[in-house]
Amino acid sequence: MKKSVSVGTSEAVVMGRSAMCEALDRIADAIVENHKDDAMMALVGIRTGGIHLARRLVSTMQERFAREVPIGTLDINLYRDDLVGRARQPVLRTTDIPFDVTDRNIVLVDDVLFTGRTIRAAMDGVMDLGRPARIQLAILVDRGHRELPIAADFVGRELVTTEKQMVKVRLQEEGHLTDAVIITS
């Protein structure tokens, strides 16, 4: 008879609250620098973590640069390429983009960039709403291991991970006690 061995997972905090704030400040600075006189720039946060980060970026831009920036939220569930073969139907949430994306410079915002499939789905979702002049990508954490040729324009931090490790962004807006980026293995 074989014994089952329980293997625990280990967690490591790789970014705490202050490091996340500094990374978001750098991203906000870079976006503003890249779009100095761009009245057609808007941020679109990808559900769920990307929405909270997009709101923080817009708040920073408004506070530090006296810059009004339109913001929207995007649900990508219908655009995912992994729906076939899933036992459960995806939970659909609202997409709320209260501006015309046509001819706008859209900055997609998400928490972690991994395979690139979420971003591909997000681009499909935006393109269904119109034809932006340009789409850029702002990411808090880029962990590598792309399956698609997607690269971020604005990155808070690059992490070296294995494909099996998980990178989780914990945000207070989602009920966590404090902000943190965690690697589990």
In a domain, 22, yes or no: yes
Write down the pTM of the prediction. 0.90
pLDDT attached to residue 86: 52
pLDDT score of 43: 98
Question: Is position 100 within any domain?
Answer: yes
**Segment 97-156, tens digit of pLDDT:** 999 999 999 999 999 999 999 999 999 999 999 999 999 999 999 999 999 999 999 999
With cut-offs at 50, 70 and 90, classify the pLDDT of residue 6.
Answer: very low
Neighbours of 3 (CB within 10 A): 4
How does pLDDT run across 16-68, given as a tens digit for each residue?
999 999 999 999 999 999 998 899 999 999 998 899 999 999 999 999 888 88
- Determine contact, residues 161/143, Cβ cutoff 8 Å: yes
- Does a structural domain hold residue 117? yes
Q: Confirm whether 4 is domain-assigned.
A: no
Q: Which of 60, 129, 61 is nearest to 96 (CA)?
A: 129
Number of domains in the chain: 1
Residues 6+ apart with CB under 8 A from 85: none
In a domain, 105, yes or no: yes
- Write the CATH number for 151: 3.40.50.2020
Domain ranges, residue 105: 18-79+93-161
Are 143 and 167 a contacting pair, CB within 8 Å? yes
Domain membership of residue 27 (yes or no) is: yes
